Structure 1
Amino acid sequence: MATLDVFESLDVKKGQISAEIWVANFQEGHHENLNIIHVGWNIAPSYYGDKKTHFLVGWTADGYNSTGCFDLNCNGFVPVNYAPITPGDTLDVKRKITIKIFKSKDDGDWWLHFARGGEKLAPVGYWPKSLFNTLDYYADHIQWGGYTTSLPGNPSPPMGNGHWPRENSATFEDLQYINVDETGYPPLPMPGIQSYVSNKECYQVSRFMTNKFKYGGPGGCTN
């Protein structure tokens, strides 16, 4: 679970900018066994056909080899009636959203709850446990953060709001793990939470303190 800032960008061409929560069961060296659920916001003109910020929902049971998809483009994620948002919908920028992903103690399915800033969490839908093989019982890897992509040789787009992790940069806050009784508790700092940056010349992440962290950068990398 986490609350995160939502931003817009005019600097994405054929790449993408995203901020998400990833819940996965990951077996080192066996990408074909990667079971993952991921939810957040995404700017991807080549996928959505515009430069707007969209609510992204994705899943796979084999590292996107033959199973899974984004939003509602395949059978898998099951939306519920009267949901506060639908996968793929556009989001209001400069407004926080809260995402909660948990495994139901009643039916064993993975549920998604969502709220816009100041509103109460409400169910969006669920992923049936039957979709997965390693994630059907538990997750062994959880990640909060941002990522970007670009075509080979093209400068990478900005991440977050394009600022380095400082006072006015993009933030993940109120990070929580979810118990089997579906209540949350804050994760411990290092070594419980570890940071990773793939290219420090273009992006950075702050220290994890008081259940939040800042991240982002101007982009511009070509490797």
Structure 2
Amino acid sequence: MDVYDFPNLRKGESIAAQIWVSDADKKNQVISGWEVDPEQYGDSKTHFYVDWTTDLKDGCRNLGCLGFVPVNIATITPGDTLEPSTGKISLKIFKSKEDGDWWLHYGHDINNLNPVGYWPKSLLPNMPDHAGNIVWGGTAGSYNGQVSPPMGNGQWPRSNSAASFQNVQYVDFNGQGYDPPGYSLHAIETHRKCYQTGVFQLRVQGNMFHYGGPGGCTS
């Protein structure tokens, strides 16, 4: 996913790009990506983050509670700042065949990924074998009544320079990536006047799509 910075974001505004992995009912969820959230971090820098929930009530972001377990050899820790020069980050979330836990790997391209940590299988009883739902995309929000900020880099996905997700893959039981079947993919747009998603493109050089928009919604 492309990484951007928004140094002028105000408290109450937030922008993120992430991957959600959940059961079919979306009660058990694990999430990772980047976000800008002055209310959460006390600044308007871009942060790498993780999140999880078991019933849409408990759980927490980053290391705010017992849940996600970081590994000592990780090159990044949830909550760390990402510089705009990072350009892109690559994430892989998968259920390990060896220990049954849900692992997160991070890097700057799909051929250079290293473990960040894992969500223990005991946290996610609704995903004992596999995920039922996977989402790649962006979010943007503000206090009700405030004008919402941009999503992605603020450009509509009709532009090739808009924010994008690239090398989009599913992961099989052996941890290997494969192309998602076209019939399994669906676009979700909750505020189409402010944000949209582009057409998913199956490409030899990496499956991808653009997303985003200038914002401006007030509800």
TM-score normalised per structure 2? 0.93
Q: Cα offset for 1:117?
A: 4.5
Q: Does 1:186 pair with 2:183?
A: no
Structure 2 match to 1:60: 53
Structure 2 match to 1:10: 7
Paired letter, 1:186: D
Q: Does 1:35 pair with 2:33?
A: no
Mapped to 2, the partners of 1:161 and 1:11 lie a distance apart of: 13
Q: Cα offset for 1:145?
A: 0.3
Paired letter, 1:171: S
Q: Deviations over 1:1-37 (max 9, x none)?
A: xxx100011352122100000000132xxx7xx1000
Paired letter, 2:19: I
Secondary structure at the counterpart of residue 7 of structure 1 = coil
Mapped to 2, the partners of 1:119 and 1:177 lie a distance apart of: 16
Q: Cα offset for 1:138?
A: 2.0
Contact 1:78–1:126 at 8 Å: present in 2 too? yes
Mapped to 1, the partners of 2:148 and 2:49 lie a distance apart of: 20
How big is the alpha-carbon RMSD for the aligned residues of Structure 1 and Structure 2? Answer: 1.4
Contact 1:11–1:158 at 8 Å: present in 2 too? no
Contact 2:90–2:110 at 8 Å: present in 1 too? no
Gap change, CA 1:39 and 1:118, over 3 Å in 2? closer
Secondary structure at the counterpart of residue 32 of structure 2 = strand
Q: Does 1:203 pair with 2:195?
A: yes
Structure 2 match to 1:147: 139
Paired letter, 2:208: K
Structure 1 match to 2:124: 132
Q: Cα offset for 1:118?
A: 8.1
Q: Cα offset for 1:192?
A: 1.6
Q: Cα offset for 1:124?
A: 0.3
The unaligned stretches of length 5 or more in structure 2 are none
Secondary structure at the counterpart of residue 140 of structure 2 = strand
Secondary structure at the counterpart of residue 47 of structure 1 = helix
Spell out the pairing of 1:62-141 with structure 2 (5 A cutoff).
Answer: 62-63=55-56, 65=57, 67-94=58-85, 95-117=87-109, 120-141=112-133
Gap change, CA 1:171 and 1:138, over 3 Å in 2? same
Secondary structure at the counterpart of residue 74 of structure 2 = coil
Paired letter, 1:212: M
Mapped to 2, the partners of 1:118 and 1:152 lie a distance apart of: 38
Mapped to 1, the partners of 2:83 and 2:185 lie a distance apart of: 29
Q: Deviations over 1:60-87 (max 9, x none)?
A: 1111x1x210000000111001201100
Q: Cα offset for 1:48?
A: 0.5
Which of 23, 39, 50 aligns to 1:46? It is 39
TM-score normalised per structure 1? 0.91
Mapped to 2, the partners of 1:7 and 1:75 lie a distance apart of: 29
Secondary structure at the counterpart of residue 70 of structure 1 = coil
Contact 1:11–1:157 at 8 Å: present in 2 too? no
Q: Which moved more, 1:85-94 or 1:49-58?
A: 85-94
Q: Deviations over 1:147-205 (max 9, x none)?
A: 1111010011100001111111100000010011001001122x221101111110111
